């Protein structure tokens, strides 16, 4: 399968990894939208949030545990934002489930 995030997960494509374990990997976004902008992905290929179900949702819980750990390591003591874009209307460009962990500035709502 020609999936760029699967290739990052298995080391075929380089990325600046900030965390890795058996099931997830986190790396710096190539085009950061905030001083801290890290993508956290499952190593297994899940296309999007729409494909989360009872058989694979444990990895999503784990991703949120990892996000909290990384946020502490990155010194995001004043808060941060976790974003998931799903599908065309959600603005998803890479079709491998990923959560944006962003911090280091104030965010607007619902965009920006």
Tell me which of 1, 2, 30, 112 binds ligand AMP, using CB under 6 A: 30
Between 75 and 91, whose beta carbon lies closer to ligand AMP? 91
Q: 3-state SS of the chain: helix, strand, coil percent to 5?
A: 25, 20, 50
What size, in residues, is the chain?
112
Is residue 35 involved in binding ligand AMP (CB under 6 A)? no
Cα dihedral 52, 56, 58, 64 sign: negative
Contact track, ligand AMP, 43-82, x by CB under 6 A? ----------------------------------------
The first and second tokens of residue 34, run together, are 């905030």
Residue numbers 6-25 binding ligand AMP by CB under 6 A: 15
d(CA 50, CA 87): 8
Q: Could you confirm whether 98 is annotated as catalytic?
A: yes
Residue numbers 79-108 binding ligand AMP by CB under 6 A: 85, 91-94
Q: CA 24: distance to chain centroid?
A: 9
Catalytic-role residue among 37, 96, 98, 100: 98
Write out the catalytic residue numbers.
Answer: 98
């Amino acid at each position: 399968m020609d999936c760029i995030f699967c290739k990052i997960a298995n080391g075929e494509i380089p990325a600046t990894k900030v965390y890795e374990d058996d099931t997830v990997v986190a790396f710096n976004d190539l085009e950061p939208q905030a001083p801290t902008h890290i993508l956290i992905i499952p190593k297994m290929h899940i296309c999007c949030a729409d494909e989360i179900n009872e058989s694979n949702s444990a990895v999503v819980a784990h991703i949120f545990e990892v996000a909290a750990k990384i946020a502490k390591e990155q010194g995001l003591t004043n808060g941060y934002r976790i974003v998931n874009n799903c599908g065309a209307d959600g603005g998803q460009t890479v079709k491998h489930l990923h959560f944006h962990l962003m911090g280091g500035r104030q965010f607007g709502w619902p965009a920006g």
